[in-house]
């Protein structure tokens, strides 16, 4: 009997043994092999969902709650990720580990697409929704390998005035409530790390003020039970910075002990502030050290919102765990009284910060309503930081989709700040080049830029925005045209996504399309993804594919890094339409200091209002000939950029009279969140 059958050696992945079937009689020797990551090949049995859309479109949270997400392991399987490459956070979220990049090293990337927008109204023009809808179209309707890369939203705007950032309508990331709230704790880790460093700064100032050099050194390098002293590993970083090569604490001279142990921080120079992920205007300026045990060491400081922390920027711009450790250690918190920059590693805390951030460096895998994969990571604001999701998420995604696949990432606010920083900061550090840039436009915003009445969050729209007005639309297209021109200059094809609302007329939409093409857009496409999901963005998907396939130019930066700080600031100001820059006395002082400290070779991250090309949020359209005021200049050395403050910019938002939290509650019967937008 045994001679009747063939004898076959079959290797079966342990993650797929449940699928193994013997299709014909044979003698099989089954050898289990560890599951491997297969690069550039999506699972042939993709998990996708067909949406049944309703009209009118229900509330975002109601749509999100009406869909049962796939188990996240199914989404991971579609990307050919095996359980060794992610850690589960419940049923619908997983942390994708950086080991994926090691396993796919050398494999080719997919197409890289960035989504920006025209200068928005306070209501937002749907960039996140367009990003999600485009990816649903590419994955669920055009059968493309696709990953969406989004920032994690801050709880400040979620409970404040703007609401969440999971998309909207039938183009959302789900579970929407988990996406907009705690997610996997990354922002909490940033908050803890930031505030640990803040505590370390003030504690060091306190102890140095009350101890001699010898006492300070004895406490920093205490003897062990055998009476021997040693430096901790992080201390060697400060020793190297000081040019001290000795490895035994007892060998240091009194002068070296003084240099090593006494940071001599100038309290007036400290730029590091405490953070929390809530809008709280009353914490913008506070005093600390008022307790009797602090011996009268009162210092004025304040709170920023957590996503404005430099640690958030570090997370978004880092390329590896080792790189993050170096960036965290290099963060400058202020200066010594002699003008030397003081870093986190000088305080001995760089390693501890990395420990707090070790899980946050891994992107979070989620899904869209139609079952396409999403990587959520980092969340810096674009008006006060660089406003893009992480480099590591983009790099992982580009490897997973492979040649012919698409990675679509969003840049915050208008293209003048979000896309500009994506190109000049993020792409410099990542080495990645986008093939296509999308600019999201709405009739509503264009009418505003054409001279329409003010658009105010929480108030009904003026009649001008609800009825046809071609004149306003055409006048406002100057704003879109400048964004197209600026973005094309980077060497990418620009596709305008016209995010259509129910009140927009065909004539208005045609006016926008004609203006976009006249301004040099590769294409301009009408989208209805909010109302129809991926089906409403199929034309956009086709246009983006063609744009990616027909670009051959290298990436062109707006400025070279070897220009002076002022020259780089002025290059960006010129792109806004300014014909000059005015520096305050404080800004001049800071520029001079950073130049002397050797930081002038860093890129520039302008902190500017998102509501205008200029510094004045009330100035709409495409202003020109104005002077851009720089009131201060600060540095995020660990993250790797200099950030000028244009006009008055708040790093701690405030709550409006009627915050979003009025509508948010919990259905105690089902346990579902209601009212989240």
Tell me the two tokens of residue 400: 């997973």
Residue-wise DSSP of 444-476: HHHHHHTTPPPP-TTSPPPGGGTS--HHHHHHH
Pair 165, 241 in one domain: no
345 and 376 assigned to the same domain: no
Given a cut of 50, the residues of the chain with pLDDT beneath it are 1-35, 38-45
| Contacts (Cβ under 8 Å, ≥6 apart) of 244 | 252, 256, 259, 260
- The answer to whether residue 59 is domain-embedded is no
Q: Are residues 286 and 144 in the same domain?
A: no
Q: What is the pLDDT of residue 158?
A: 75
Residue 33 lies in a domain: no
Residues 475 and 571 in one domain: no
Please state, in angstroms and rounded to a whole number, the distance separating the CA atoms of residues 617 and 456: 12
pLDDT of residue 164: 65
Structural domain including 264 reads: 187-356
191 and 180 assigned to the same domain: no
Structural domain includes residue 342: yes
Q: 585: helix, coil or strand?
A: helix
Q: What is the pLDDT of residue 399?
A: 97
Residues 472, 604, single domain; the answer is no
Tell whether 560 is covered by a domain: no
| Domain count across the chain | 3
Q: Are residues 246 and 172 in the same domain?
A: no
Is there a single domain that holds both residue 534 and residue 596?
A: no
**Last residue of some domain: 325, 356, 387?**
356
- CA-closest candidate to residue 591, choices 570, 575, 573: 570
Ramachandran region, residue 99 (left: φ > 0; alpha: ψ -120 to 50; beta: rest)? alpha
Q: Is residue 290 part of a domain?
A: yes
Both 102 and 204 in a single domain? no
What's the CA gap between 589 and 627, in Å, rounded? Answer: 20
Phi, psi of 374 (to 5 degrees): -135, 135
CA dist., res. 566 & res. 560, Å (int): 12
419 and 541 inside one domain: yes
One domain, residues 158 and 290: no
Q: How far is residue 127's CA from residue 419's CA, in Å, rounded to a whole number?
A: 12
Q: Is residue 438 a part of any domain in this protein?
A: yes
| Predicted local distance difference test score (pLDDT) of residue 109 | 97
**What's the CATH code of the domain at 109?**
3.40.50.300
> Domain for residue 659, yes or no?
no
Find the CATH number of the domain harbouring 576: 3.10.410.10
Q: Is the domain of 337 the same as that of 374? A: no
Could you tell me which of 654, 244, 671, 167 has the C-alpha nearest to residue 440? 167
Structure tokens at 2: 């045994």
Does 39 fall in a domain? no
CB 132 within 8 A of CB 169: no
What is the three-class DSSP state of 94?
Answer: strand
> Which of 549, 583, 613 delimits the end of a domain?
549
Q: What CATH number is given to the structural domain containing 302?
A: 3.30.1510.10
């Amino acid at each position: 009997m045994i001679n009747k059958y063939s004898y076959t050696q079959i290797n079966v992945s342990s993650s797929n043994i449940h699928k193994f079937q013997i299709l014909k009689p044979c003698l099989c020797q089954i050898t289990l092999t560890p599951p491997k990551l297969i690069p550039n090949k999506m699972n042939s049995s993709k998990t996708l969902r067909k949406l049944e859309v309703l009209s009118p479109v229900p509330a975002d949270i109601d749509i999100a709650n009406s869909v049962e997400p796939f188990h996240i392991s199914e989404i991971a399987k579609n990307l050919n990720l095996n359980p060794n490459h992610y850690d589960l956070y419940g049923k619908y979220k997983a942390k994708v580990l950086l080991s994926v990049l090691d396993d796919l090293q050398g494999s080719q990337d997919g197409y890289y697409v960035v989504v920006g927008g025209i200068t928005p109204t306070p209501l937002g023009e749907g960039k996140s929704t367009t990003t999600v809808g485009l990816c649903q179209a590419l994955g669920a309707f055009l059968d493309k390998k696709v990953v969406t890369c989004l920032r994690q939203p801050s709880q400040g705007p979620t409970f404040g005035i703007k609401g969440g950032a999971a998309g909207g309508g039938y183009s959302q990331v789900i579970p929407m409530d988990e996406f907009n709230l705690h997610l996997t704790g990354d922002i909490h880790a940033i908050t803890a790390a930031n505030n640990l460093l803040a505590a370390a700064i003030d504690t060091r100032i306190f102890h140095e003020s009350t101890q001699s050099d010898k006492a300070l050194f004895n406490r920093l390098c205490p003897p062990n039970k055998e009476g021997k002293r040693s430096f901790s590993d992080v201390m060697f970083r400060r020793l190297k910075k000081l040019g001290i090569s000795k490895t035994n604490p007892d060998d240091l001279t009194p002068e070296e002990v003084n240099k090593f142990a006494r940071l001599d921080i100038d309290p007036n120079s400290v730029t590091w502030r405490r953070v929390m992920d809530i809008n709280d205007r009353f914490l913008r300026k506070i005093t600390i050290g008022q307790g009797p045990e602090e011996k009268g060491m009162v210092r004025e400081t304040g709170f920023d919102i957590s996503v404005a922390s430099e640690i958030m920027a570090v997370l978004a711009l880092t390329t590896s765990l080792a790189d993050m450790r170096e960036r965290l250690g290099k963060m400058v918190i202020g200066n010594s009284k002699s003008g030397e920059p003081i870093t986190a590693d000088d305080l001995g805390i760089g390693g501890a910060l990395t420990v707090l951030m070790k899980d946050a460096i891994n992107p979070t895998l989620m899904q869209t309503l139609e079952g396409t994969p999403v990587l959520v990571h980092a969340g810096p604001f674009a008006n006060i930081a660089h406003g893009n999701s992480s480099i590591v998420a983009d790099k992982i995604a580009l490897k997973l989709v492979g040649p012919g696949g698409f990675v679509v990432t969003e840049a915050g606010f208008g293209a003048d700040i979000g896309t500009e920083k994506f190109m000049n900061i993020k792409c410099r550090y990542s080495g990645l080049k986008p093939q296509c840039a999308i600019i999201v436009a709405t009739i509503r915003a264009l009418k505003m830029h054409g001279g329409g009445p003010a658009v105010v969050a929480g108030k009904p729209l003026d009649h001008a925005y609800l009825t046809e007005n071609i004149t306003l639309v055409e006048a406002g297209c100057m704003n879109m045209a400048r964004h197209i021109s600026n973005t094309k200059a980077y060497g990418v094809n620009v596709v305008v996504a016209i995010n259509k609302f129910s009140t927009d007329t065909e004539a208005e939409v045609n006016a926008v399309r004609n203006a976009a093409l006249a301004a040099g857009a590769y294409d301009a496409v009408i989208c209805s993804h909010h109302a129809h999901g991926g089906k409403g963005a199929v034309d956009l998907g086709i246009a983006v594919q063609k744009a990616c396939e027909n670009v051959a130019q290298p990436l062109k930066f707006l400025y070279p890094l070897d220009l002076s700080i002022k020259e780089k600031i002025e290059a960006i100001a010129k792109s806004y339409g300014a014909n000059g820059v005015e520096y305050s006395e404080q800004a001049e002082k800071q520029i001079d200091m950073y130049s002397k400290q050797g930081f002038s070779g860093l890129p520039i991250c302008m902190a500017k209002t998102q509501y205008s090309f200029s510094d004045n949020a009330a100035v709409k359209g495409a202003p020109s000939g104005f002077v851009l005021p720089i009131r201060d200049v600060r540095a995020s050395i660990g993250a790797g950029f200099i950030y000028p403050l244009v006009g008055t910019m708040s790093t701690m938002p405030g709550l409006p009279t009627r915050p979003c939290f009025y509508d948010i509650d919990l259905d105690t019967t089902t346990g579902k969140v209601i009212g989240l937008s």
